[in-house]
Structure 1
Amino acid sequence: MPAMNTALRPEDWSVMVPPAAAASAALHGALLESRQRWQDLAGLGSDLVFETDNTGRFTFLWPETVLGHRSAGLLGRRADSLLLGAGPSPFDLRQAVRNHRAWVADASGQPRCLSLSLAPLGDARGGFAGLRGAAHDVTQEETAAATAAAGLRRAAMLDALAEAVRHAGTASEAVARGLAGLREALGCAGTAMMVPTATGPEVAAGTVDPPAGLIAAAGLALAAEQDWLGPLEGGQPAALLHHHGRPPALSALAAWRSPGGRAWDAEDLAVLRSMAATLGAVLGFGRLQQELERQASTDPLTGLANRRAFLDALEARLVPRRAAPGALVFLDLDNLKPLNDQHGHDAGDAALRATARLLRETAGPDDIAARFGGDEFILWIDGADAAIATARAAALIQGAHAMPAARAPRFSLGIATWDPASGELPARLLARADAALYEAKRNGRGGWRLAEAPASWN
């Protein structure tokens, strides 16, 4: 008997397979073919494709590894369980969505940004059967955009702060404006510029007084010239950022928030570091300028005002009808040359410093003491009449005699009183006091003479 051919031809299927089963198989094959075609097309432009059921659970994922997860391990899991942060879930939408950005966690818990495109699936009755979606990992792009945006915000903030600093009239005003603007921009409880001193850190400028804990930290940070970050006791976020310059330009920007306030982020610290450099430079310039002005107006040996500074201050005091009366005292050392000849110039310098110390000790808060040049000193006694001025002269002479006799300064004094109603000019007053001084020297030295006021001024 010949062998029978059991192979089925396609035209025989309708005979062998029941019509309903054939239709179901054809539909299933069409769905598989449709899914495969969609998967192939979506995979060409996406990092992952997926489907969910009507409860939002994954029913299909491609490729085999998704965000570090094995795809098989995610099947049956709710898609929104991967989302980070609060807010509405894109997987709850029942309408088409294109390029919706959402942050999700990968298998290691790191944030990843996905650009989602979703389309709803319908069942045989036209109801909602789930979602079909494709996603592209745009973490790098989103991070770059966020970094650029943060940079633009930071640049705009720094420009605004720099503009406030630039429009200030003085260095101190510039620092004050910068600190106030920084406090507002970063939501700080306070900001300050700290500088080192021999006795510890000092607030050179500030919006409010820093907390005690921050001052203590500033002492260590300034000594080591290092930045310091950390919460203070009570949980206050605080920071000390240095401006590295030589004293008196060395400083640190201090900033702090209220207890429980937001911790510093990278953008905050970038702004603080930039402003520490800007305000530190302005503060340092101002302090250097003050130091130069102090040196220009100070006698380096005695620390008293020099001749120019004294004359400027005296001229400002002697304003007719506005000033108070006073007395001018000229003082000249009688024994500077003998001290230099017998004991050397160090002994002479010591006598000059001792005289300056006597003047400082006897001067009142509104008085002006200066080294006028060489072995001459001068003192303005504010509000003094002849009795007060002569008593002060006698006290200076007595103070000198109380020092060890061998190298103590010895001096003569000339006194001239001044009346605002007289209209006497500073030069005339100085000349009268100087004449009284030389009269004291001609009369044996070691004493004082009071100049008589002329009857009228020409």
Structure 2
Amino acid sequence: MNTALRPEDWSVMVPPAAAASAALHGALLESRQRWQDLAGLAADLVFETDNAGRFTFLWPDVALGHRAADLLGRRADSLLLGAGPNPFAQHRTMRGHRVWMADAQGQPRCLALSLAPLADARGGHAGLRGAAHDVTAQETAAASAAAGLRRAALLDSLAEAVRHAGTAREALDFGLAGLRDALGCAGAAMLVPADPLPEVAATTMAVPPALLQHTAATLLAGEDWLTSPDAQQPCAVLHHHGRPPAASALAAWRDPGGRAWDAEDLAVLRSMAAMLGAVLGFDRMQRELERQASTDPLTGLANRRAFLDALESRLRGNAGALVFLDLDNLKPLNDQHGHEAGDAALRATARLLRGTAAPGDLAARFGGDEFILWIAGADQAAAIARARALLDGAAQQPGDRAPRFSLGLAAWHPASGESAARLLARADAALYDAKRHDRGGWRLAGAGP
């Protein structure tokens, strides 16, 4: 006999109450799954708190790296980072409120919170129901973009100050001062390699000696240098890798105990190191070209043009005396021993002029075998004493290739109103007189007008 039940017989066998209960249970399971699916699509975390702000429900089982079971009974605001308002203490509805909370590893995560208050049977506050969406990636990207915009605006502002400077030196001063103020530095400076300590090319204040000492080796090697975050005084040295004389480094420092450098600070410093390094390189090359244009390459003294320019300014000050010097034996040296011997005599004469010069004096090679010397504050007696010292110095040079020369002297006083051209003519006439009558000696020109 076949006793198997057919499907059409099930409704006869299952009691109506049990069938209804099974149908209700299935509907509840389906509703619960639907709720979880919708919640999972809408939020990364859903929760409830009691009236003391403690978690009473969390979903999913792992939230922000925390096990939900470990968070139950814990105050929600214990996960908050920063000192902003506590959203879990608010008894009102809010949507999309952004807060920073700690994940299981203690790392900051940004959540967009939506909260709704819960009420008890008497209408009192019973807690909060909330949902949260992890927006750390979006917040970080937005913060990075905002930092980039701030950095670009700052660099544009600093570059504008540099561009509107009248000279390269002003551009360096404006750029360093602007950088100091923008980053909250105690000081900023441009350094160039030198031995034993770096040369300070431009600065907003005295560079700390410890920074110069520490930077000496790294600067010569072209290495960037940063203090560690726990250092007592945050310092940074960032290079502009130009070719000498354009090689340089930007140094910046904060007060002891000041804020350590962050990524945005370092990005600005690197950009400014390149910008100000280029300005400094141009300034140094320009100065070198000017030096070469105003210097006699053989002797290292000022040349004729530089001396005449300087003499005009000297004649607007105190009294002084002009000394013209002409080598008597340059042609014989060149003829008998070659031009190298003549060049050696010219360099020896330049050394004599430097050796007897005092602060404020100015010596130059006027051209060929002629030299000229301005003696600041000298009267006739002082000019004669200087001429004798030069002749004694030449006489003490050993050998037959030592320089021998004649000198013409002319004293000048502001009250005379004599021009530079007239003063030069008097000294030249005195020199001509010395060479004509007594080579190897000196002559003093008559008084000026």
TM-score, scaled to structure 2: 0.89
The one-letter code matched in structure 2 to 1:81 is S
TM-score, scaled to structure 1: 0.88
Matched, 1:367 2:361: yes
Task: Give the deviation of 1:231 after TM superposition.
Answer: 5.4
**Where does residue 171 of structure 1 map in the other structure?**
168
Matched, 1:80 2:77: yes
Size of the aligned set, in residue pairs, is 438
Q: Give the gaps of 5 or more residues in structure 2.
A: 1-11
Matched, 1:378 2:372: yes
The one-letter code matched in structure 2 to 1:168 is A
Q: Deviations over 1:291-320 (max 9, x none)?
A: 11111111111111000011111122334x
The worse-fitting range, judged by mean Cα deviation, of 440-449 and 260-269 is 440-449
The one-letter code matched in structure 1 to 2:174 is R
The one-letter code matched in structure 1 to 2:354 is R
**Where does residue 145 of structure 1 map in the other structure?**
142
Cα gap change, 1:421 to 1:78, in 2 (>3 Å): closer
Matches within 5 A, 1:45-444: 45-230=42-227, 235-319=232-316, 323-444=317-438
Which consecutive segments of 4 or more residues in structure 1 shift more than 6 A?
A: 28-35
The one-letter code matched in structure 1 to 2:338 is G
Cα contact 2:158–2:178 (8 A) shared by 1: yes
Task: Give the deviation of 1:93 after TM superposition.
Answer: 2.2
Task: Give the deviation of 1:29 after TM superposition.
Answer: 11
- Structure 2 CA distance, aligned partners of 1:142 and 1:232? 25
The one-letter code matched in structure 1 to 2:374 is W
Cα contact 1:67–1:107 (8 A) shared by 2: yes
- Structure 1 CA distance, aligned partners of 2:48 and 2:338? 101
- Structure 2 CA distance, aligned partners of 1:452 and 1:241? 61
- Structure 1 CA distance, aligned partners of 2:326 and 2:230? 59
The one-letter code matched in structure 1 to 2:15 is L
Cα gap change, 1:31 to 1:95, in 2 (>3 Å): farther
- Structure 2 CA distance, aligned partners of 1:355 and 1:372? 12
Q: Give the gaps of 5 or more residues in structure 1.
A: 18-25
Task: Give the deviation of 1:37 after TM superposition.
Answer: 5.2
Task: Give the deviation of 1:217 after TM superposition.
Answer: 1.7
Secondary structure in 1 matching 2:352? helix
The worse-fitting range, judged by mean Cα deviation, of 382-391 and 238-247 is 382-391
Secondary structure in 2 matching 1:155? helix
Cα contact 1:213–1:232 (8 A) shared by 2: no
Cα gap change, 1:384 to 1:314, in 2 (>3 Å): same
Cα contact 1:221–1:228 (8 A) shared by 2: yes
Task: Give the deviation of 1:229 after TM superposition.
Answer: 0.4
Secondary structure in 2 matching 1:364? coil
Cα gap change, 1:158 to 1:12, in 2 (>3 Å): closer
Cα contact 1:411–1:446 (8 A) shared by 2: yes
Q: Deviations over 1:205-253 (max 9, x none)?
A: 2121121110112211211111100159970111111111122222111
The one-letter code matched in structure 1 to 2:318 is A
The worse-fitting range, judged by mean Cα deviation, of 77-86 and 256-265 is 77-86
- Out of 3, 8, 26, the residue aligned to residue 15 of structure 2 is 8
- Structure 1 CA distance, aligned partners of 2:148 and 2:162? 21
Q: Deviations over 1:342-366 (max 9, x none)?
A: 3333322221111111111212222
The one-letter code matched in structure 1 to 2:293 is A
- Structure 2 CA distance, aligned partners of 1:234 and 1:34? 59
- Structure 1 CA distance, aligned partners of 2:151 and 2:263? 11
**Where does residue 446 of structure 1 map in the other structure?**
440
- Structure 2 CA distance, aligned partners of 1:127 and 1:424? 104
Cα contact 2:194–2:220 (8 A) shared by 1: no
- Structure 2 CA distance, aligned partners of 1:147 and 1:393? 73
**Where does residue 20 of structure 1 map in the other structure?**
none
Cα contact 1:188–1:257 (8 A) shared by 2: yes
- Structure 2 CA distance, aligned partners of 1:444 and 1:12? 143
The one-letter code matched in structure 1 to 2:433 is E
- Structure 2 CA distance, aligned partners of 1:375 and 1:123? 110
- Structure 2 CA distance, aligned partners of 1:72 and 1:250? 61
The one-letter code matched in structure 2 to 1:238 is C
Cα gap change, 1:349 to 1:198, in 2 (>3 Å): farther
Cα contact 1:102–1:116 (8 A) shared by 2: yes
Cα gap change, 1:209 to 1:40, in 2 (>3 Å): same
- Structure 2 CA distance, aligned partners of 1:84 and 1:260? 24
Cα gap change, 1:53 to 1:37, in 2 (>3 Å): farther
Cα contact 2:325–2:431 (8 A) shared by 1: yes
- Structural RMSD (CA): 2.8
- Structure 1 CA distance, aligned partners of 2:123 and 2:27? 18
The one-letter code matched in structure 1 to 2:305 is R
Task: Give the deviation of 1:58 after TM superposition.
Answer: 2.8
Secondary structure in 2 matching 1:258? coil
Q: Deviations over 1:233-283 (max 9, x none)?
A: 970111111111122222111111111111111111111111112222222
- Structure 1 CA distance, aligned partners of 2:175 and 2:94? 47
Task: Give the deviation of 1:31 after TM superposition.
Answer: 9.2
**What percentage of aligned pairs have identical amino acids?**
74
Task: Give the deviation of 1:385 after TM superposition.
Answer: 2.1
Secondary structure in 1 matching 2:201? strand
- Structure 2 CA distance, aligned partners of 1:199 and 1:386? 44
